[in-house]
Amino acid sequence: AHQALSSWEEQEKLHWLVTQNVDGLHAKAGSRRMTELHGCTHRVVCLSCEAWLPRQHLQEHFEALNPTWAAEAQGVAPDGDVFLPEEQVRHFCVPSCSKCGGVLKPDVTFFGDNVSKEKVDLVYRRLEESDAVLVAGSSLQVCMRIYPSDAR
């Protein structure tokens, strides 16, 4: 499906793609005219200066700051977690933003976060330029269970 949408873009049958997926597969398939509404796990962003870098670069920083970390892991749990000795956890170094020293996080919208106004406005502009909308794999609904009065 990702490649089909990319092909439609190349043939100018697709004006703009809006995805809620954070896996980067649309970009990998070749889509360029798109908005990743909830961001992408392949990037990290600084919470202070908003600089971003590829997630792979962050991984390289993790490995440089914690060279024995992977070798000392004591097995992988069924859910993908890794068992680490308490001593290793206490001494784990987390990279900070190379531009300002701020905290880095995956460039995704977490539950309870808001999509930026700029991104929403861009999507509305692209929608106004379109003569049709194709929705695939979405109910176009948001579950609003974030309020204590709605929790069960």
The domain locations on the chain are: 1-129
- Binding-site sequence positions for Zn(2+): 46, 49, 97, 100
- Count the neighbouring beta carbons within 10 Å of the beta carbon of residue 35: 16
* Options 15, 38, 42, 57, the catalytic residue: 38
pLDDT score of 2: 95
pLDDT score of 129: 96
pLDDT score of 146: 54
pLDDT score of 143: 64
| pLDDT tens digits, one per residue of 124-148 | 999 999 999 999 988 877 665 555 5
- Binding-site sequence positions: 46, 49, 97, 100
| pLDDT tens digits, one per residue of 1-52 | 999 999 999 999 999 999 999 999 999 999 999 999 999 999 999 999 999 9
Catalytic residue check, 38: yes
pLDDT score of 76: 78
